[in-house]
Amino acid sequence: MKQILLMIVLGCMLAGCASNRYVKKAGLLENSGLYSDAADNYFSSLQKNINNIDAKLGLQRTGQLVLDDKMDKFKTQYQNGVAKDAVYAYRAGEEYYKKLQGVGIKLIFPEEQASYYREVEDTYLNSLYQDASKALDLEQFSSAEAHFDEILSIDNNYKDAKSKWAIAKFEPIYRNGKELMTNSMYRSAYLEFKNIVDNVKVYENSLDLMNESLEQAKLTIYVPSINTNFSSYKILASQLTNKVAKGINSINSPLYEVVGTGATFTSEKSSASKAFQFDRTKGVVNNQPIPNAKAIFNGEIQKYSTSPGTLIKTENKGYIKRVEKYVDEATKLTKERTVYDKIVYYEYIMENRVSLTVAYSIKRTDRDELPISDVFNQEKRDKVNYAEFKGDYKELVPGTWKYLGKDSDTDKVYDSASSIQSLRVLFEGKKTIQSITEMENALTDECVAQITEQVKKYQPEN
């Protein structure tokens, strides 16, 4: 809590300093007669600190001068009869007045100019409206849309500008959508009509055409059980089948839909459109209808192997480094020396591996096309390699020794910084390994992600 308060106080101090810097710069500009630039700096000062009195007084002075200049420009354009320039000059002054109001500065606005503005605004909007309507009649949709956009930016309720703007904006899209439907490009047509419906809800019969084109464009996919020649793969095949169906259905688009899963599929087309599956419990062949789908997903697990590791424990030798005091026999002084006590610690190693190979394809049933045909082939490995010691591992030094109870000429102590760091890394290594099931789930998820991404990228109209 204290840290948060400190940060708030520090932030306020920094903002106050920035505010004062803007005031100082504004004062120099104002003294030089550059009151417009001065006003900008006073405004920036108040944005940093709304309570800066010097900034408020400065902006009150210079801001009024800036507003007066803007309104003088309006008067000049009005007197010159330039309707467009007059309209935008007045609106610039009005916008500046409101901007300063936002930081608590209320300027004197020449209300007597409002009647002149309404006059010139009406003149300009009427001229714009005539040009826009003429362009619309001539089916110059882009030009008409730009004119109506400008009208609505000035007066959002001017005559029937909104409805005519909608025609200028969406009529070319509507016509293009209908042409796309005529050419059987239903996906593109759906996106055109959806654009209209998302923006104006009702325009001609866009909603009906959107739904009609969606029905034609939707890629319905049948996902039968993924095949495997090994009985040990059956459970995995079933899980992968369900994941593939869910993955395709999770695509955030109504253009894809799984319409059935789970039955074994034969590519032979019979008049009854049946899939055949042998029921081993009853010793008979069952008929199962194939859903009416525009595409069929076929998958086969070609390889699935797991290699669960065994945790291997190894006894390693090392030393505990410590400092002890002793009395020097010659000088009788107390001194210190480094002592290395022999110890054992244990190192553990384990590795799990899972590999998966799945061949898959998607075949269109409504036309001779195989848009997707690929193989997923990945392996996952996870390994742990760590050490454990009952005492404080940070006191350990790597080394070797022959006898625990006595010294030997072959004993070695590796007391370098790099050797000690390498040993500590071993003690600080992860001790939890990813299970076979976890890696299997990760692999099947990656397989489904690959399949789903290819389905999303499939463009049937290209």
One-character DSSP codes across 314-357: EEEEEEEEEEEEEE-TTT--EEEEEEEEEEEEEEEEEEEEEEEE
User: Residue 108's closest CA among 60, 46, 74?
Assistant: 60
Rounded to whole angstroms, the Cα distance separating 269 from 290 reads: 10
Q: Where in the chain is the domain with CATH 1.25.40?
A: 15-109
Rounded to whole angstroms, the Cα distance separating 358 from 234 reads: 13
Q: Does domain 15-109 have CATH number 3.40.190?
A: no
Q: List b or e across 423-439, with b for residues whose CB sees 16 or more CB atoms inside 10 angstroms.
A: beebbeeeeebbebeeb
Rounded to whole angstroms, the Cα distance separating 174 from 184 reads: 15
Residue 288 confidence (pLDDT): 54
If you write DSSP's letter for every residue of 393-424 in order, what string do you get?
A: GGGEEEEE-S-SSS--TT-EE---HHHHHHHH
Rounded to whole angstroms, the Cα distance separating 210 from 79 reads: 53
Rounded to whole angstroms, the Cα distance separating 144 from 168 reads: 6
Rounded to whole angstroms, the Cα distance separating 226 from 261 reads: 10
Helix crossing, 2-31 with 35-48: angle to 10°? Answer: 170
Rounded to whole angstroms, the Cα distance separating 218 from 293 reads: 10
Tokens 């040990």 correspond to 232
- Helix (H) / strand (E) element for 313: namely strand 312-327
Residue 291 confidence (pLDDT): 78
DSSP class of 461: T
Count CA within 13 A, CB hemisphere, residue 307.
12
Read off the amino acid at residue 412.
K
C-beta pairs of 408-416 under 8 Å, 24+ apart in sequence = 413/319, 413/340, 415/321, 415/340
322 with 341: CB under 8 angstroms?
yes
**pTM, to two decimals:** 0.73
Q: Which residues contact 210 (CB under 8 A, 6 or more apart)?
A: 190, 193, 194, 196, 197
Residue 377 confidence (pLDDT): 98
At 374, phi and psi to the nearest 5? -160, 175
Rounded to whole angstroms, the Cα distance separating 23 from 79 reads: 37
Six-digit token pair at 381?
A: 């490995």
User: Residue 95's closest CA among 54, 153, 29?
Assistant: 153
User: Residue 111's closest CA among 99, 93, 125, 126?
Assistant: 93
At 367, phi and psi to the nearest 5? -160, 165
Rounded to whole angstroms, the Cα distance separating 224 from 244 reads: 10
Six-digit token pair at 334?
A: 């107390």
DSSP class of 434: P
pLDDT tens digit at each of 462 positions of the chain: 545 444 444 444 444 578 999 999 999 999 999 999 999 999 999 999 999 999 999 999 999 999 999 999 999 999 999 999 999 999 999 999 999 999 999 999 999 999 999 999 999 999 999 999 999 999 999 999 999 999 999 999 999 999 999 999 999 999 999 999 999 999 999 999 999 999 998 899 999 999 999 999 999 999 999 999 888 899 999 999 999 999 999 999 999 999 998 744 333 333 334 444 444 344 444 455 667 899 999 999 999 999 999 999 999 999 999 999 999 888 889 999 999 999 999 999 999 999 999 999 999 999 999 999 999 999 999 999 999 999 999 999 999 999 999 999 999 999 999 999 999 999 999 999 999 999 999 999 999 999 999 999 999 987
247 with 448: CB under 8 angstroms?
yes
C-beta pairs of 168-177 under 8 Å, 24+ apart in sequence = 168/132, 168/135, 168/136, 168/141, 168/142, 168/144, 169/141, 169/145, 169/199, 170/196, 170/199, 170/200, 170/203, 170/206, 171/141, 172/141, 174/203, 174/204, 174/206, 177/206, 177/209, 177/213
Residue 3 confidence (pLDDT): 54
Burial of 31 (C-beta count, 10 Å sphere; 0-12/13-18/19+): exposed
For β-strands 219-223 and 295-307, DSSP reports them as parallel
Work out the angle at residue 34's Cα, subtended by the Cα atoms of residues 12 and 24, and round it to the nearest 5 degrees.
30
